[in-house]
Chain A
Amino acid sequence: MTLEAVKLAAEANQWGAIFPELLLACLALALLALEIVLPKKLHAYIPDVALAGLVGTLGGLFVNFQSATLGKESFNGLLLHSPGGQVMRVFFLLTAILVCILARISLAKQKVPRIEFYHLVLIITGAMMLLAQSNHFVMFFVALETVTIGFYILVSYFRTKTASLEAGLKYLVMGALSSGMLLFGIVLLYGVAGNPTLPGHSASAMHYPALAQFLVANPHNFLAGVGIVLVLVGVAFKIGAFPFQIWVPDVYQGAPTPVTAFLAVGSKAAGFAVLLVLTRDVFASYDWLVTPALTAMAAATILFGNIAALTQHNVKRLIGLSGVSHAGFLLLGVVALAGPVASVSATGAIYFYLFAYLIASFAVFGVMAHIGGADDSDQTLDHYAGLAKENPFLATILAIGLGSLAGIPPLAGFMGKFFVFIAAFEGGARWTLALAVVGVVISIYYYFGWIKAAFFEQWTPPADTAAPRPSRTPVNLVSGIALGCLALASIFIGFYQGPLGHWLTMK
């Protein structure tokens, strides 16, 4: 091998561009290896290794945020490293860290294998990070399936509980259906765009820029339209948008609490990261189709999520359905992006909303993990009665988290809604926006009902028994600090956006 060849090989080496993802994959394998190598009494520390690895990766990503590959494609166009992709990488790493912290609380109460859980979380996180940067339908589909298959296992992780198994099965069936539709859509698009008789056709029609070029050249192709709709449907399943939200309440209820949180935040955000890229960059010339479809979906999602959540008594179902309504609010931002008068601030608004949602959701899920009892099944509003008296710390965290989800100023969630609303108005989605305002008012009712249960009500044992209230897990130092930070962050970001505000105006 000559020196020249080595040089060429070095230049073609693009592995550095996905270093964080590689790190996570290696870490995931290392966890399994550690379980074999380490003596049994040291196994308790393996989750800490996962946590430390995630924190280290996040730190490295921050240091190298303006990486050399930013704005470039890599791996023959499979990936595109955009600033938005970097933001989503940070997002998914944060999510994974918080999921691991939740898992330390929840899994400790169960007799289940530990290490595989963290292994799967790391793999899924890496796949989500690739998904957010995908620039090619092959990459997109493979990453998405990695995420989904990981979730099949995680959802039914409490394998002795029928509810968890049932949720896993439901997620499997629904996930397979949505993947099928998505794949059908992709194939249709590929087939149409590869048709040599049409203008702008391309041999590599799965590559986003090539596809976008083809769609610009054929702005009213019927088959392409069908393909786009099917792809949107597949993504709508992931984000839980109406009418594809049907799996959400059952799966959220059955899944272990950390997994529910992972689904609610990570999976939803991954869907939006993809949707953002698709509507803004790829399907832009089909806005005559995409905008009305997404507008109708956003309106229906907001309305359905909020109204369905009104009557829920199980907090996991409640948070699932409220998550559906959040998907609606986020869709409003996507609509603003896809509309004829694209809003400048919509992309930033969606990112900000996602981060505010992450912070608030994990605060709430953290409290749920503590309240959940020995088998993670104490999840009705009644279990929250008297929380403020008994554990004011958890009650305060809960109130701040729910307040932020409800969009009450001065919390971060309000700012997120505010930015999305501005973007939606600029994008021309006036009537959907009016509906969203109604949705916010409805949502106050159930969020407030939850806060009311925690603050204003006393614990009453079920009618026929004199059972004492099920025990609540005491808050340990790590989770206490994590929850405290989340609550403070919700308040702080509400008051002062600082550098986050500068992101908002970035493209």
Chain B
Amino acid sequence: MSPLPFDPLLVSIAAPLALALAIALGLPKRWSVMLAYGAFAIPVLMALHVWWHFGDAAKDHGYAFLTRYSTGLDGLGIGLKLGLNGISLPLFVLAALVGFAAGLYAIQSGAERLKIYLMLLLVMQGGLMGVFASVDIFFFYFFHELALIPTFIMVGIWGGRDRSYAAMKLTIYLTLGAMVSLLGLIMLYVKSGAHTFDLIALRDHLAAHPLAATVQNNIAGLLLFGLGVLVSLWPLHTWAPLGYGAAPSSAAMLHAGVLKKFGVYGLIQVALPLLPDGLAYWAHPLAWLAVIGNVLIVGLITIAQRDLKQMIGYSSVMHMGYAFLGIAAGGIIGPGGVVFLMVAHGLSVALLFLLATAIYHRTQTFALDEMGGLAQKTPVLAAFFVAATLASIGLPGFANFWGELAIFVALWKFSPLITALAVAGVVISAVYGLRSAARVFFGPSTAGLAMVTAAHPPVDITWKERFPALILLAALLFIGFWPKSLTTPINAALTPQISAKIGNATGR
């Protein structure tokens, strides 16, 4: 247990939700904004606290800080069970950090109807903390949806170009993904015969009574399709660039940075230990889909983008391809690398969306062709952007490098050919990343931009924008230079799963 007198996990979920409810019930604006700082900061404090104490906390099946609250559905085996293991801990911290950065950025952005905007963002934040803290699969799904709904509204009301269409498309695609994965989870629940959604109990039950191969294949297929839509697996990815292109920056940061990781996280946390044979059955089609579709095709599409925000959206679709490759590769290193990459990518893509909006405020456009030469006027912003770009390409020293490296190592054993294709993707991402940085900040300035900058001389990145960006960048560098801080808990969490799987295989 943690030394705190309360449950840090519950508090980190409840604090943002409580403030959101208070705002909905008519809290005045001044108070809302002031308290919002606290409501975004509390999850970070709690996350750092549990991260610090995770190593020496008492654990059950690798889960620390376990508590269970009844919501009246005990008869169906559903209860709000909170806890963290080595896989969810890094993502829990990620959610808190990105949420804090997105919250700070939203507060300083002074959006129209700021109160409602903050309320929705707080709901998202509470839901995200819940996703990674839930040990109960039902609540894991439930909190994901809770975080997802505000995205639709935020895109629809505060979005940019094509917001109405983007909101509709986002809603339909993501509902489809969510419903199909729900179907998979229901199938898992019924077929396991354990009558519980508790992940730990399910794991124990299925270790003793593994599911038949065809059942596993069916469930894994449903989950891969449903979660695949949510993580923008090619060819069901088209919602992502459109949605991110239209979404307001804080929503895009939280969704692309954290919420989208839900699908991959679900595959690693739920499918990998419970349906090992099912995942292995789909591994090859999944890997080919990911490498040809997400990495190569979407990579080339990304190069062709002329809109900065859409480009970042496409690049995040591409990077999710690596996550699928890591899952397909299996073993300890593959999924471990995926968890690592998710944290790294979450931080870097959130940073990129933040900076893209900062650039927009100075150029009044997202079109790459209309920009240029901004570095002379805003050198610090340029430095931030180049750093974020290098991180997302996977330069050593940034966290992303370790994640991709681990995935490639695991992938080599799986299929050298796929590995070669995947590594080619890194070159693609270098091309579009560096090209966009060059386009925005270096080279000649266009006439249109000169007019905008003449009317509003661009100021360099302000401290209010810089602080959230610094949080994200610092975390990227910290993990990049000290990967062990993440790999220790991840390894500890994945090792017993794999050995249990081998035990099953030999026991049968």
A-side residues, CB < 8 A to B, are: 345, 403, 408-410, 414, 418-419, 421-422, 425-426, 433-434, 437, 440-441, 444-445, 448-449, 452, 455-456, 495-502, 504-505
The CA-CA distance from A456 to B162 in the complex, in Å, is 12
CB-CB < 8 A to B153: which residues of A? Answer: 455
Q: SS class of chain B's interface: helix, strand, loop or mixed?
A: helix
Q: Which residue of B lies closest to A457 (CB)?
A: B164
Given contacts A345-B76, A455-B156, A456-B156, contact A441 B175 (CB under 8 A): yes
How many whole Å from A193's CB to the nearest CB in chain B?
37
The CA-CA distance from A433 to B74 in the complex, in Å, is 24
Q: Are A441 and B179 in contact (CB under 8 A)?
A: yes
Instruction: Say whether B307 faces chain A, with CB atoms less than 8 Å apart.
Output: no
The CA-CA distance from A502 to B189 in the complex, in Å, is 19
How many whole Å from B17's CB to the nearest CB in chain A?
9
CB-CB < 8 A to A498: which residues of B? Answer: 71-72
The CA-CA distance from A494 to B486 in the complex, in Å, is 35
CB-CB < 8 A to B289: which residues of A? Answer: none
Given contacts A425-B186, A441-B172, A456-B157, contact A499 B72 (CB under 8 A): yes
* A-facing residues in B144-186 (Cβ within 8 Å): 145-146, 149, 152-153, 156-157, 163-164, 167-168, 171-172, 175-176, 179-180, 182-183, 186
Q: Which residue of B lies closest to A443 (CB)?
A: B175
CB-CB < 8 A to A505: which residues of B? Answer: 75-76
The CA-CA distance from A433 to B189 in the complex, in Å, is 15
Given contacts A434-B183, A437-B180, A441-B172, contact A408 B72 (CB under 8 A): no
Residue from B175, B189, B190 having most chain A Cβ neighbours under 10 A: B175
Interface residue from A403, A440, A495 paired with B149 (Cβ < 8 Å): A403
CB-defined A-B contacts under 8 Å, sample of 28: A345-B75, A403-B149, A409-B141, A409-B145, A410-B142, A419-B76, A421-B182, A421-B186, A422-B190, A425-B186, A426-B190, A440-B175, A440-B179, A441-B172, A441-B176, A444-B175, A448-B152, A448-B167, A448-B172, A496-B71, A497-B71, A497-B72, A498-B71, A499-B72, A501-B76, A502-B72, A504-B76, A505-B75
Instruction: Say whether B208 faces chain A, with CB atoms less than 8 Å apart.
Output: no
CB-CB < 8 A to A418: which residues of B? Answer: 182, 186
Given contacts A498-B71, A500-B72, contact A414 B179 (CB under 8 A): no
The CA-CA distance from A502 to B146 in the complex, in Å, is 24
Q: Are B75 and A502 in contact (CB under 8 A)?
A: yes
Given contacts A452-B156, A500-B72, contact A425 B187 (CB under 8 A): yes
CB-CB < 8 A to A419: which residues of B? Answer: 76
Q: Are A501 and B74 in contact (CB under 8 A)?
A: yes
Instruction: Say whether B4 faces chain A, with CB atoms less than 8 Å apart.
Output: no
Looking at chain B, what size class is its interface with the partner chain? Answer: 20 to 34
Q: Are B186 and A410 in contact (CB under 8 A)?
A: no
Given contacts A410-B146, A445-B172, A502-B72, contact A422 B189 (CB under 8 A): yes
Sorted nearest first, the 9 A-B pairs with minimum C-beta distance are A501-B72, A505-B75, A409-B145, A497-B72, A498-B72, A501-B73, A437-B179, A441-B176, A444-B175
How many whole Å from A381's CB to the nearest CB in chain B?
14
Q: Are A504 and B73 in contact (CB under 8 A)?
A: yes
The CA-CA distance from A407 to B274 in the complex, in Å, is 28
The CA-CA distance from A337 to B163 in the complex, in Å, is 44
Interface residue from A403, A421, A440, A497 paired with B73 (Cβ < 8 Å): A497
Q: Are B157 and A455 in contact (CB under 8 A)?
A: yes
CB-CB < 8 A to B180: which residues of A? Answer: 437
The CA-CA distance from A448 to B171 in the complex, in Å, is 8
The CA-CA distance from A322 to B140 in the complex, in Å, is 29
Given contacts A409-B145, A440-B179, A456-B164, contact A501 B190 (CB under 8 A): no
Given contacts A433-B183, A501-B75, contact A425 B145 (CB under 8 A): no
